[in-house]
Amino acid sequence: MKIAVIDLGTNTFHLLVIELDKDKSWRKLLHKRITVKLGQKGINKNIIAPAPFKRGLKAFESFSEDIRKFKPKKIYAFGTAALRSASNGKDFLKILKQQFGINVTVISGKQEANLIYLGVKQAVKLGDKKSLIMDIGGGSVEFIIADARKAYWKGSYKLGAA
């Protein structure tokens, strides 16, 4: 079964399309990344400025074309810090739904931290000792204290590279 996952970050949008097998193994069919800089000239005012707004829509249009080519059975789309805090974030999401038929779920900072932990856990061999995982995004920074078994503490702070 093909699955598409879209990550709408403050600086970069990502599209991952995978083929998921019955045994839960998977292989990557496409990973596309587009720099959109949603926070440019607006993040400190809690808005998505007009130029980044247009860049975001154009990037999503490109993703939509890829999704049509791969025809995934499921599409998961998530928005992070910029879409959490921008006063016009809901307007952006409404346009995505109207133009492309894709619902985007805006996740909390804690949810974002949890997904970061799960991703790091797949990519890095965490041992029995606690480690600090830090993700510096465009609109937020997440800190996670974890080991291979679980995350003990997660925090998300509204300060990022943008």
| pLDDT per residue as tens digits for the range 22-51 | 998 999 999 999 999 999 998 888 999 999
Give the pTM.
Answer: 0.90
Question: Is residue 162 predicted with pLDDT exceeding 70?
Answer: no
| Measured CA distances, 78 to 44, 70, 81 (Å) | 22, 19, 10
Of residues 37, 69, 68, the one with CA closest to residue 53: 37
CB atoms within 10 A of CB 45: 10
Q: Are strands 74-79 and 2-8 parallel, antiparallel or unpaired?
A: parallel
Q: Which token pair is 95?
A: 């346009």
Question: Is residue 160 predicted with pLDDT exceeding 80?
Answer: no
